[in-house]
């Protein structure tokens, strides 16, 4: 009987260790993130103080200020950034961390030329004192010749 009970306890605890974390039940937090994403405008600061960004050339910025300086150096100006509805995937962890994968339409000026691209973004947000801020972000331009995107 002892060995049966031991096997039962070990089995139950091992299943609990592999249980899926619930990341989809935070409706309020998900709505807050969605609002934040949809109301971004160039120049709007949503980054935390410890923000890390990876640029299109693989360069790393360790603050919002560094990221802005890289954009100036590359002669890049953001005109607009718009999430494409239906392409926002938000996972909330413990109500205070969010991992977001989204497709955005970006209008920018590069070296005095207008450029319109679609970018798949992966962003991480943290909620502190009731406010969300972005702690990390990285994007990959979608090659629409190979992978057309409807938006």
Give the predicted TM-score (pTM) of the model. 0.78
Cβ contacts of residue 70 below 8 Å, gap of 6+?
55, 59, 61
- The rounded average pLDDT for each run of 10 residues, N- to C-terminus, in the chain (151 residues) is 55 53 84 89 81 85 88 83 91 96 91 91 94 94 77 58
Nearest-10 Cα torsion for 125, 30, 22, 122: -40
85 HSE (CA, 13 A, CB side): 2
pLDDT at residue 8, as a whole number = 47
Please give the domain boundaries of the chain with CATH numbers for all domains.
22-141 (3.10.450.50)
Measured CA distances, 125 to 32, 46, 142 (Å): 11, 9, 23
Distances (CA, A) of 104 to 10, 26, 76, 81, 85: 46, 23, 17, 6, 9
């Amino acid at each position: 009987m002892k060995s049966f009970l031991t096997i039962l306890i070990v089995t139950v605890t091992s299943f609990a260790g592999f249980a899926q974390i619930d990341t989809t039940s935070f409706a309020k937090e998900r709505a807050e993130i969605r609002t934040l994403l949809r109301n971004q405008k160039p120049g709007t600061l949503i980054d935390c103080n410890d923000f890390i960004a990876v640029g299109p050339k693989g360069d790393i910025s360790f603050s919002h200020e560094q990221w802005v300086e890289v954009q100036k150096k590359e002669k890049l100006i953001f005109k607009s950034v718009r999430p494409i509805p239906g392409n926002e995937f938000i996972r909330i962890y413990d109500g205070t961390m969010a991992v977001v994968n989204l497709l955005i339409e970006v209008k920018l000026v590069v070296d005095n030329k207008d450029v319109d691209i679609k970018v798949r973004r992966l962003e991480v947000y943290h909620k502190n004192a009731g406010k969300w801020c972005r702690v990390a972000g990285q994007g990959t331009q979608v090659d629409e010749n190979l992978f057309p995107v409807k938006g």
